[in-house]
């Protein structure tokens, strides 16, 4: 997190009003994929998922500046078909496996159905980004994009850019 | 993502209405930390940040079932002090570094200020979770918790549980 002493001065507000007013997500783009149905999507991107385009909404394209083909990134999506009232699941939808709290699983059914996808940037367009592989279906809202800091193969790059 | 053919049948809705109705986050807990101010927080958990408690909201505690001390998890937070209208930043708040799109940085200032923290579970209580290290300040809403799938040291565990 950046140190920004001006934050509170420029935007004075209480935590409670900040929470009330600002917990609404703005989709910054949308997934355009050949996968059209949740029932046909693999459970993880590494399980045979395709590359897709993220169509980035006008007004957010400047925020792509600095991304390049080959970058490994995290894409956060809003899994709009998920069930938000589910607190326990059988992992991998396998009834033989014990019911487990959703916070100990990657189930899309959870109170805030945020999908976390580690993908590679294939191509950067003016208002779209080719990425993959990713199991999110066509029409899935994208809510954030971040560089990966955790993988060993990225460690050198990350250190040399001082963990941007 | 789980294959759930019943999803569309049980909750028929269009993408647009799903987006309209369901992009509001529910905080599932709140960070209780000795760090009280953004200006005093390190930029990353690995840079000297403390362990904290997540006070889990009543109604979501069942979803913790299956987490144990030693687990490596991803905690997603809502960085409630961030500026949502920022599209470019100087990485690490260093004016000597080129302005970069926020999607190529880990700046908290971004359209949807979601913090992504890789942490270790220290202790699991009935309605709280001790985790760390983490740079998020006291009062930060927690919006999701997920197991880590990407790190090599987790690979064996993950494979043996079939990537829950």
Residue of A9, A16, A132, A145 whose CA lies nearest to A77: A145
Nearest chain B Cα distance for residue A53, angstroms: 16
Q: Which residues of A touch B22 (CB under 8 A)?
A: 78, 80, 84, 113
User: DSSP E strands: which ranges in chain A?
Assistant: 29-32, 52-56, 72-78, 88-89, 100-101, 114-124, 128-132, 141-147
Facing residue for A43 by CB, picked from B2, B65, B104? B2
What pLDDT score does B150 carry?
Answer: 53
pLDDT 10s digits, A47-62 = 789 999 999 999 999 9
What pLDDT score does B46 carry?
Answer: 80
Structure tokens belonging to residue B19: 């987006």
What pLDDT score does A84 carry?
Answer: 95
Facing residue for B1 by CB, picked from A135, A144, A161? A135
Whether the pLDDT of residue A1 is over 50: the answer is: no
Facing residue for B104 by CB, picked from A22, A66, A118? A66
- Mapped onto helix, strand or coil, the DSSP state of residue B53 is strand
Name the more confident of B65 and B10.
B65
Q: Which residues of B touch A5 (CB under 8 A)?
A: 39
What pLDDT score does A45 carry?
Answer: 80
What is the band of A22 on the pLDDT scale with cuts at 50, 70, 90? low
Whether the pLDDT of residue B151 is over 60: the answer is: no
Most confident of A3-7, A94-98, B118-122: B118-122
Residue of A70, A65, A50 whose CA lies nearest to A120: A70
What pLDDT score does A92 carry?
Answer: 83
For B47-57, what is the mean pLDDT? 94
Structure tokens belonging to residue A29: 């783009």
Q: What is the DSSP secondary structure assignment for residue B13, as one 8-state letter? A: -
CB contact under 8 A, A63 and B101: yes
Facing residue for A23 by CB, picked from B73, B78, B162? B78
Distance in angstroms (rounded) separating the CA atoms of residues A9 and B164:
44
Question: Which of A5-9, A23-27, B114-118 shows the lowest per-residue confidence on average (mean pLDDT)?
Answer: A5-9
Is the four-CA dihedral B32, B34, B37, B39 of positive or negative sign? negative
What is the band of B76 on the pLDDT scale with cuts at 50, 70, 90? very high
Whether the pLDDT of residue A63 is over 90: the answer is: yes
Distance in angstroms (rounded) separating the CA atoms of residues B137 and B37:
6
Q: Which residues of B touch A72 (CB under 8 A)?
A: none
Cα A148-A149-A152 angle, rounded to 5 deg: 105
Minimum Cα–Cα distance from B163: chain A residue? A92
Mutation test of the interface with chain A: which of B103, B109, B129, choosing the one with the most A Cβ atoms within 10 A?
Answer: B103
For A19-46, what is the mean pLDDT? 84
CB contact under 8 A, A28 and B112: yes
What pLDDT score does A142 carry?
Answer: 98
What are the Cα distances from residue B97, in Å, to A88, A164, B12, B90?
A: 45, 10, 49, 6
User: Mean pLDDT of all residues in chain B?
Assistant: 82
pTM of the model: 0.81
């Amino acid at each position: 997190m950046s140190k920004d002493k001006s934050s509170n001065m420029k935007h004075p507000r209480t935590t409670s009003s900040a929470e009330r007013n600002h917990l609404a997500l703005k989709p910054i783009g949308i997934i355009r994929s050949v996968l059209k149905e949740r029932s046909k999507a693999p459970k993880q991107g590494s399980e045979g998922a395709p590359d897709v385009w993220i169509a980035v909404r006008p007004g957010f394209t400047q925020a792509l500046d600095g991304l390049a083909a080959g970058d490994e990134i995290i894409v956060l999506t809003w899994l709009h078909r998920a069930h938000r009232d589910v607190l326990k699941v059988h992992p991998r939808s396998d009834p033989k496996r014990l019911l487990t709290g959703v916070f100990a699983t990657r189930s899309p059914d959870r109170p805030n159905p945020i999908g976390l996808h580690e993908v590679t940037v294939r191509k950067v367009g003016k208002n779209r980004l080719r990425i993959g592989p990713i199991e999110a279906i066509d029409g899935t809202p994208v809510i954030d994009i971040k560089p990966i800091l955790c993988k060993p193969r990225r460690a050198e790059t990350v250190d040399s850019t001082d963990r941007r």
